[in-house]
């Protein structure tokens, strides 16, 4: 493996992130704080507890996961799209760097950014509500696994997009609604039985349920199923990326 190439791509992406800290960190943290203020006050005054957990604490895993999904996808999408836009992608493709090393550099950087942001948001949340993490290793594992999976999705979007406006189509019009409908602010057990069954087709449900279990040992979905669905999504993204490099879709034309 060409570790120097991976380090160069990874280092460049992390340096670019460092130059935009205001947008990359401060903005998501402020947005999450507003969610705590608005939902914690407006809804928390009407819903004291869910499954024995205070409402303010209950929504913490969902909010962290919501930011993690959107930031992982956006960071990875922009990271690979900009070299395509500037034409420098051809320099990378002509260098002695394998597709695996390219993906490792870009996706690794995007996932690292998202995990750091997720931990910062978690620390911010602890200022508003008391948080208990029953399974720290599971929590970190879910955090990393989700960041990697959605960074891979972002990489795919960055290859697919043929304009800057398309980079936000899927994160804003698909991921964000699915996240709100995936149990971020409520338990799906609160829904009528029909809508509970419909919600099971939403992949975000499994991510939030598994992540929430690592905090409070409560989950709408079994932890084994949640992990399995996350791994299946990651494998699907890897298969699509393999096909992209195999066929040269939008990167060699």
Q: Which tokens sit at 13? A: 């992406």
Q: How far apart are CA 83 and CA 86, in angstroms?
A: 5
Residue-wise pLDDT for 71-107, tens only, equals 899 999 999 999 988 888 888 888 889 999 999 999 9
DSSP string, 155-203: HHHHHH-SSGGGGGHHIIIIIHHHHHTTTSSS-GGGS-HHHHHHHTT-H
Q: Quick one: pLDDT at residue 103?
A: 95
| Helix spans in the chain (H) | 3-18, 21, 27-42, 55-58, 60-86, 89-94, 99-125, 136-160, 169-170, 176-180, 193-199, 203-216, 223-247
The least confident of 21-25, 138-142, 175-179 is 21-25
Give this prediction's pTM: 0.92
Q: 41: pLDDT confidence band, cut at 50, 70 and 90?
A: low
Residue-wise pLDDT for 182-206, tens only, equals 888 889 988 888 888 889 899 899 9
The HSE-up count of residue 57 (CA atoms within 13 Å, CB side) is 18
Q: Output the average pLDDT for the chain.
A: 88
- Phi then psi for 54, rounded to 5 degrees? -55, 140
The CA–CA distances, whole Å, from 220 to 3, 129, 157, 174, 189 equal 41, 22, 30, 22, 7
The HSE-up count of residue 108 (CA atoms within 13 Å, CB side) is 15
- Does residue 15 or residue 29 have the better pLDDT? 15
Residue-wise pLDDT for 239-253, tens only, equals 999 999 999 888 875
Residue-wise pLDDT for 98-122, tens only, equals 999 999 999 999 999 999 999 988 9
- Does residue 138 or residue 34 have the better pLDDT? 138
């Amino acid at each position: 493996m060409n570790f120097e190439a991976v380090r160069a791509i990874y280092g460049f992406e992390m340096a670019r992130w460092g130059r935009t800290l205001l947008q990359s960190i401060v903005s998501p943290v402020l947005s999450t704080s507003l969610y705590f203020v608005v939902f914690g006050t407006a809804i928390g005054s009407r819903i004291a507890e869910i499954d024995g957990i205070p409402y303010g604490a209950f929504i913490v895993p969902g909010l962290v996961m919501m930011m993690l999904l959107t930031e992982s996808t956006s960071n990875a999408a922009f990271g690979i799209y900009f070299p395509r836009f500037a034409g420098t992608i051809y320099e990378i493709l002509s260098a002695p760097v394998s597709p695996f090393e390219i993906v490792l550099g870009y996706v690794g950087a995007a996932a690292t950014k998202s995990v750091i942001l997720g931990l910062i948001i978690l620390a911010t949340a602890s200022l508003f509500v008391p948080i208990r993490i029953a399974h720290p290793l599971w929590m970190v594992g879910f955090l990393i696994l989700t960041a990697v999976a959605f960074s891979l999705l972002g990489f795919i979007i960055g290859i697919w997009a043929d304009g800057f406006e398309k980079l936000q189509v899927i994160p804003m019009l698909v991921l964000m609604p699915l996240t709100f409908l995936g149990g971020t602010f409520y338990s799906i057990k609160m829904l009528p039985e029909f809508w509970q069954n419909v919600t099971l087709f939403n992949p975000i449900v499994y991510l939030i349920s598994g992540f929430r279990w690592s905090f409070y040992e409560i989950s709408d979905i079994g932890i084994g199923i949640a992990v399995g669905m996350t791994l299946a999504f990651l494998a699907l993204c890897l298969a699509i990326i393999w096909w992209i490099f195999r066929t040269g879709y939008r990167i060699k034309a």
